[in-house]
Chain A
């Protein structure tokens, strides 16, 4: 019964979404308060209906109710409950339902919080959110109905892909979706601003928490996905430059640019049309990411249920949403003027440099991802664009970004000069020089990228620390250090954490790329292999029974000097789907990981022996610790009173951000 309720709720939600789209937009253009208020009510109902629908699907999975086709395809009674629940979004249809659930929840939040946002702005934002919701609901209802029944119902289902039966499934997709969908709010704000013909500090203050939230979730989501791949795929890779990964990286890069440009708009009333463009782009790239995965236009190791019909529908949505937004942009944006001026050396200029580099990085990823498609449809050769391309093109842009990153926050708003900047970056520059020197001594002069990588990481870390030191010194004389620590607003801590995270990420990527080593060996119990200064001894091999799999577990002792650690790697067999997975044995250390993965007994090795792959990954943990710190910084900023979702945004706009009204 619950499937029918869920399906019916979905259909109702579609009708409500259409109303949410049309009524408040008309209301706002007529200035009719009743019609505008309708948008808030509709957004609440819309959110409630989709929540009901989602819970119905979850209940079907929890059951498990195999008369629902989706459940029968992705669930099995031996599957642990947590993965039966996770399977709700571990498939195309359910993940789209999760997408609209987050979308409509955000809509309800915008409607429900008393933020003092201009009613006309709120009505327009809700209207556009309703429009996006209606399109996605139509997509689900017409091409990807999750509630389809099977008759006769099978007694047992086929299980969820075993690689997905992992805590990563509980974390990664929802975080990523909060990120993608969060950018839809920024998109709706941008489109509303274009319709209204004004984007001022009031607007920036209202949209900034959403951008922050989306960025924070996306940062954490990408890191979670990368870590998940690292430990499940059994060969220790953390980023593959696969189209599907690029699809999440592009919105992140543009979203990061947006996060910074919104702050310029909020503080100084500059970069208005650029900010609107970024807001539209961040969501568009999220949409194109969806298109990529589900359409079959590119080959990816992450092949989803590929269906060109869905691809055409999603393409239609891109045309319908981004096309209209860009048309609005072409029509309205030329009439919007940014009032604030700034000098060539100023905080604003630093942020402009940040934006150019981030946008170029995103464009590079876009080019690398889609150039093969472009060349193919224009009748050219088939080419592949793989990791070596990005090392040559993307890495230098990111290096330039790191260079700007440490100096930017030290610049004064409006107007500054080089001499002043130098007095403030002197110490971080010294730290960077020392880091470069040490790297040369350890690794040799020949490895320029490595030297640059560590020097830049040190430069960024020292620069972030210098911000805090400078801030605390400013108040010297008045009050204790503790008081000064307290007086520093959370958003400053957010900035510092974000930049520290970037430095840590840079160090981790540099070390893991340059100094990782691996070995593959045939081992019998009792034998040892040396890897990265550690000796790994295979102690025993034994069968293990899991809840829904059988495994062979190999126990290792890692000996490093006087220390010994025990780790185990498993090779699992899931009889229901007949698939095999590897569970790697990993020592998570601050300075690096030792990673051990076994092959199937008898596969490539004589009787009684195992093929064992051993990896030494220096500083690899920093690759995920860095983004987690960035996400933590995002959370800190969100707690800042000014950036809290629903925080009063009435605070008057400064005169410098006044806009020229659009001629009627």
Chain B
């Protein structure tokens, strides 16, 4: 009995090490979405491009779609832009929420590097972003046919993220719908 007490430090250490080793595999800065399995907050905004239609939360109904939160000042958004272009031409519906940006700056990005979005919405004061629980750009919400958020991707969509996470998820959501 008395000897057991002396083993306690070793046991505690083992537990701590296991927890740390597991913790190393995770990124502590990524927050889970509060909207998971809940409908998108209601919004409707004008486009950043003059003359083009904007969109609202109801636009993301009927079929699974991506809601991409981006801005012209965001470096990582430029990283994912080619991938979004490829997905768009493959027929994936992507909607762009322009977050805390000016419309002309965002429109210029679309004019020069291409527009992967079905429509854009101008969230200049960032309030929709806050309703969505956005912590930074880019973030991408996967929304199902009934308009509910099913997944949130924090950080750029790389070909790897698409292949391993988003593509299978979208396929499943399409089967659901």
List A residues at the B interface (Cβ < 8 Å): 273, 277, 280-281, 284, 288, 291, 295-299, 308, 311-312, 315, 318-319, 322-323, 326-327, 329-330, 333-334, 370, 372-374, 376-377, 382
Contact = CB atoms under 8 A, between A and B. Distances in A.
A308 B24 contact: yes
Interface stretch (B2-10, B53-61, B72-80, B125-133): B2-10
A330 B20 contact: no
A319 B6 contact: no
Interface in B91-139: none
B50 interface: no
A330 B19 contact: no
B17 interface: yes
11 contacts: A284-B13, A297-B28, A312-B21, A318-B17, A319-B17, A323-B14, A327-B10, A330-B7, A373-B20, A373-B28, A382-B31
Given A299-B28, A299-B29, A330 B10 contact: yes
Interface string B118-162: 000000000000000000000000000000000000000000000
Contact of B24 (A281, A312, A370, A372): A312
B16 interface: yes
Interface of B is mostly: helix
Contact of A376 (B13, B21, B28): B28
A382 B20 CA distance: 16
Of the candidates B7, B17, B23, B32, the one having the most CB atoms from chain A within 10 angstroms of its own CB is B23
Given A315-B17, A370-B16, A377-B19, A273 B28 contact: no
Nearest to A297: B23
Contacts of B13: 284, 318, 322-323, 326
Contacts of A370: 16, 19
A311 B21 CA distance: 9
B10 A329 contact: yes
A297 B29 CA distance: 10
A372 B20 CA distance: 11
Nearest to A322: B13
A156 to B, nearest CB: 24
A330 B6 contact: yes
B2 to A, nearest CB: 6
Nearest to B15: A374
Given A373-B20, A373-B23, A374-B19, A382 B32 contact: yes
A315 B24 contact: yes
Contacts of A373: 19-20, 23, 28
A128 to B, nearest CB: 18
B171 interface: no
Given A315-B20, A370-B19, A382-B31, A377 B9 contact: no
Interface in B10-47: 10, 13-14, 16-17, 19-24, 26-29, 31-32
B59 to A, nearest CB: 30
Given A330-B10, A333-B6, A370-B16, 20 more contacts: A280-B9, A281-B9, A291-B20, A296-B24, A298-B28, A299-B28, A315-B17, A315-B20, A315-B21, A319-B17, A323-B10, A326-B9, A326-B13, A329-B10, A330-B3, A334-B6, A373-B28, A376-B26, A376-B28, A377-B23
Contacts of B32: 382
A333 B6 CA distance: 7
Nearest to A331: B6
B23 A334 contact: no
Nearest to A332: B6
A267 B68 CA distance: 69
A296 B9 CA distance: 25
B4 to A, nearest CB: 9
A311 B23 CA distance: 10
B147 to A, nearest CB: 25
In order of increasing CB-CB distance, the 6 nearest A-B pairs are: A377-B22, A326-B10, A373-B23, A297-B23, A330-B7, A326-B9
B23 A329 contact: no
Given A326-B13, A330-B10, A311 B3 contact: no
Given A318-B17, A374-B19, A382-B31, A297 B24 contact: yes
A296 B16 CA distance: 16
Contacts of B9: 277, 280-281, 326, 329-330
A547 B68 CA distance: 45
A376 B6 contact: no
Contact of A334 (B2, B26, B27, B29): B2
Nearest to A292: B20
A322 B15 CA distance: 13
A312 B20 CA distance: 9
Contacts of A308: 24
Given A322-B13, A382-B31, A382-B32, A297 B7 contact: no
Contacts of B27: 296
B6 A329 contact: yes
Nearest to A372: B28
Contacts of B22: 377
